[in-house]
Structure 1
């Protein structure tokens, strides 16, 4: 784990919550996009089951993909050193 200060731990917690919330919304949208005909039309049993199963699979895939993408991007952003933007004419780093 290493030595992390409180700010770094808070940033990780916020990023995890952000990833889970946005992944939940993506999963809801994916399920709704695939399974919407089940709720809009009177479908027979085989088609109804397949659409619900496809919607559930799409929701799981969207949730996992969004979580992995968000947390992976955050892990690489923490490795980059913070650079000060170029400021011509300024000699002190805190100016």
Structure 2
């Protein structure tokens, strides 16, 4: 975890909280957009029964899958990226 006995600093906890919030918000937004793209025409227009059902069910399946995929990808990327020692500054090697 960290050098001070395995406990995270307040800044680390804040960064994790912000990243979780970003992951949830961006996942929900992406899922809503995809659901709207699939199910929107079925909700707005008179379509044949089979096509309307297909579009709604596709939206109901794809949206949660996209939500989970987005949340997992954001959190894994956060976990794997090294945090800069001095935010806003580059290292002398770069």
The runs of 5 or more residues in structure 2 that have no matched partner are: none
Aligned equivalent of 1:58, options 50, 55, 62: 62
RMSD: 2.2
The runs of 5 or more residues in structure 1 that have no matched partner are: 88-95
Partner of 1:38: 42
* Structure 2 SS opposite 1:16: helix
Structure with the greater alpha carbon radius of gyration: 1
| TM value normalised by structure 1 | 0.77
Deviation at 1:82, TM superposition (A): 4.1
Deviation at 1:40, TM superposition (A): 2.7
Partner of 1:85: 91
Partner of 1:6: 10
For 1:40 and 1:28, locate their aligned partners in 2 and report how far apart those are by CA, in whole Å.
16
Matched positions, count = 86
